[in-house]
């Protein structure tokens, strides 16, 4: 045990410091501002299209919904996109930024000023300044060494509300990452479906070119034999040219879809052919789908969680603003050594006990006569909170609309494909019959021309709508908030970005394998999580 004489300067400092700490503990912490509660939002008990026999309200695993297509190429493309997509990497890095900001907020709960100081200076005082005696030493060297500490006590919960806001902001960035993941997965699946649809439409167009070339040959032979007029030849040729003209437009769409998919995969345009593995079929959508109940959207859709967390962060900021209306109490202390070369002392006395200098005591600051600025800032923060509450409610409404739109699109597109498939079969039979009748002279070429036009149009529409069915199902799973769950099984930040950032800056444990765990320690051994 160290004994401190009661008449020593250090004993007085310790006594005042202890008294100040006791005052701070006794005064406690009054949390200002509202405690966050999830806003109410309109939500239906069931989907309006749920009565259709193609949908069920059963729960379903949305984690890897794209595997229902049983397409290995699509599975591989989505895996590649999740590793290489650049906007997703940006969203992941923003999580790291938010974690660092949370660390700053947590640090404010501890002494805000902790400084070690040391210095040596030459001082020259004016001999003519007031109150200077003739014996005073006006030129000397002064040296000092010490520690300064300042700690504003969180009596009104200002710093704690700051932690709440920063933690909510961090979780907002995580929800945004999940939302980017949902959109990315759906965009890759949609782009892939468009590519396969264009490929099939091109095959059909080229097949029709061959059929129409044969028809043109028949028209020419019949004209040369004097059976028909030259009009049949021109009509057959015009139809052939019109079908051939559709091919470049389809090739443009195919190329542009591939370019879009390349960008989603973080690849340069033109480097996608190997990943696609040649031509393939349009992803075959299942006949029915499990959609769950509307209330599940509130927790599953990342954009709804993001809107809720933004509201939570703003709620905490009201408390931060309100704390400025009240006095701030701080405990300020300084202990150090000071010596100079005046009179009987010299610089070598710096580390002697009689060179000790101290200062410790409470401090109060209070913003008064601020002419309503602080109070109006509280009102500003409250207005922003109400805006976010309404925005949250609108997000829920928009999410419900998107699901309903995707549901009706998926169900009705399936019905349309059934009719179009039957229409294509009938159109093919009409073409065959018209050609037979034309060869036999029982029908003119106009009938052949009409039936082939109908066939070309119906085949193209049928193929397009088959792709629309798959895209509608993809849109439905996106609207239901599926596809982000697997993102939490790996780091948010790509390994290449981790290395580059770590080479520039000491990121400590903020870039680590357990980064996906929101309970990772920030500093001082503390964990900060909130169950919003």
pLDDT for res 44: 77
Q: Which domain holds residue 430?
A: 32-113+154-325+375-485
Structure tokens at 150: 């300042």
Question: What mean pLDDT is predicted for residues 463-487?
Answer: 86
Question: What mean pLDDT is predicted for residues 64-72?
Answer: 89
pLDDT confidence of 163, banded at 50, 70, 90?
very high
- Give the chain's end-to-end CA distance (angstroms, integer): 48
CB 290 within 8 A of CB 242: no
pLDDT for res 2: 39
In tens, the pLDDT along 363-409 reads 888 888 887 899 999 999 999 999 999 999 999 999 989 988 988 88
User: Domain for residue 368, yes or no?
Assistant: no
The count of other CB atoms within 10 Å of the CB of residue 273 is 9
User: Domain for residue 504, yes or no?
Assistant: no
The count of other CB atoms within 10 Å of the CB of residue 203 is 14
User: Domain for residue 225, yes or no?
Assistant: yes
pLDDT confidence of 287, banded at 50, 70, 90?
low
User: Domain for residue 299, yes or no?
Assistant: yes
User: Domain for residue 236, yes or no?
Assistant: yes
pLDDT confidence of 357, banded at 50, 70, 90?
confident
User: Domain for residue 396, yes or no?
Assistant: yes
| Residue 185 to residue 182: CA distance in whole angstroms | 5
Q: Which helix (H) or strand (E) holds 145?
A: strand 139-152
pLDDT for res 337: 86
Whole-model pTM?
A: 0.83
User: Domain for residue 507, yes or no?
Assistant: no
In tens, the pLDDT along 261-279 reads 999 999 988 888 888 888 8
In tens, the pLDDT along 490-524 reads 578 888 888 888 889 888 888 764 444 444 444 44
In tens, the pLDDT along 225-271 reads 887 788 888 888 988 998 899 999 999 999 999 999 999 999 988 88
- The answer to whether the Cα torsion of 454, 470, 406, 478 is positive or negative is negative
CA separation (Å) from 132 to 70, 93, 138? 94, 62, 9
User: Domain for residue 319, yes or no?
Assistant: yes
The count of other CB atoms within 10 Å of the CB of residue 57 is 14
**Structural domain count of the chain:** 1
pLDDT for res 21: 52
Question: What mean pLDDT is predicted for residues 62-88?
Answer: 90
Q: Is 122 helix (H, G, I), strand (E, B) or coil?
A: strand
Give the CATH number, domain containing residue 306: 1.20.1600.10
């Amino acid at each position: 045990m160290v004994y401190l004489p009661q008449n020593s300067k250090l004993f007085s400092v310790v006594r005042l410091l202890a008294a100040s700490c006791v005052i701070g503990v006794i005064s406690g912490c009054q949390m200002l501002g509202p405690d966050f509660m999830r806003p109410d939002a309109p939500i239906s008990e069931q989907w309006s299209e749920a009565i259709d026999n193609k949908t069920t309200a059963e729960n379903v695993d949305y984690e890897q919904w794209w595997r229902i297509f049983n397409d290995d190429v699509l599975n591989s493309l989505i895996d590649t996109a999740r590793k290489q997509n650049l906007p997703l990497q940006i969203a992941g890095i923003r999580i790291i930024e938010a974690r660092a900001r949370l660390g700053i907020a947590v640090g404010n709960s501890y002494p805000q000023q902790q400084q070690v100081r040391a210095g040596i200076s030459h001082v020259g005082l004016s001999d003519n300044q007031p109150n200077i005696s003739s014996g005073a030493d006006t030129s000397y060297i002064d040296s000092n060494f010490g520690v300064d500490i300042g700690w504003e006590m969180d009596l009104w919960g200002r710093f704690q509300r700051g932690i709440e806001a920063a933690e909510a902001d961090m979780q907002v960035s995580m929800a945004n990452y999940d939302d980017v993941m949902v959109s990315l997965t759906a965009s890759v699946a949609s782009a892939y479906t468009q590519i396969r649809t264009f490929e099939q439409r091109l095959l059909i167009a080229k097949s029709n070119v061959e059929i129409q070339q044969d028809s043109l040959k028949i028209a020419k032979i019949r004209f040369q034999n004097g059976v028909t007029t030259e009009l049949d030849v021109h009509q057959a040729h015009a139809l052939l040219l019109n079908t051939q003209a559709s091919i470049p437009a389809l090739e443009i769409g195919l190329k542009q879809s591939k370019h879009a998919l390349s960008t989603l995969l973080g690849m340069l345009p033109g480097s996608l052919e190997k990943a696609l593995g040649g031509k393939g079929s349009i992803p075959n959508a299942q006949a029915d789908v499990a959609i769950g109940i509307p209330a599940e959207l509130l927790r599953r859709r990342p954009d709804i969680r993001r809107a809720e967390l933004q509201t939570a962060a703003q709620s905490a900021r009201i408390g931060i603003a309100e704390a400025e209306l009240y006095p701030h109490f701080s405990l300020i202390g300084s202990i150090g050594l000071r010596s100079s070369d005046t009179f009987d002392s010299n610089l070598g006395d710096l580390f002697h006990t009689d060179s000790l200098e101290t200062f410790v005591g409470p401090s109060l600051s209070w913003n008064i006569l601020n002419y309503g600025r602080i109070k109006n800032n509280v009102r500003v923060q409250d207005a922003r909170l109400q805006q976010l509450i309404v925005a949250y409610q609108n997000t829920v409404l928009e999410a419900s609309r998107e699901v309903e739109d995707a549901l009706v699109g998926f169900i009705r597109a399936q019905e349309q494909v059934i009719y179009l498939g039957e229409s294509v079969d009938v159109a093919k039979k009409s073409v065959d019959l018209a050609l037979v009748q034309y060869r036999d002279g029982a029908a003119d070429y106009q009938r052949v021309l009409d039936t082939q036009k109908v066939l070309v149009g119906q085949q193209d529409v049928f193929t397009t709508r088959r792709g629309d069915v798959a895209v509608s199902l993809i849109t439905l799973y996106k609207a239901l908030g599926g596809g982000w769950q697997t993102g939490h099984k790996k780091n948010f930040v790509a390994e290449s970005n981790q290395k580059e950032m770590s080479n520039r800056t000491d990121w400590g444990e903020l870039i680590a394998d357990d980064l996906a765990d929101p309970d990772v320690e920030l500093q001082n051994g503390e964990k900060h999580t909130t169950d919003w």
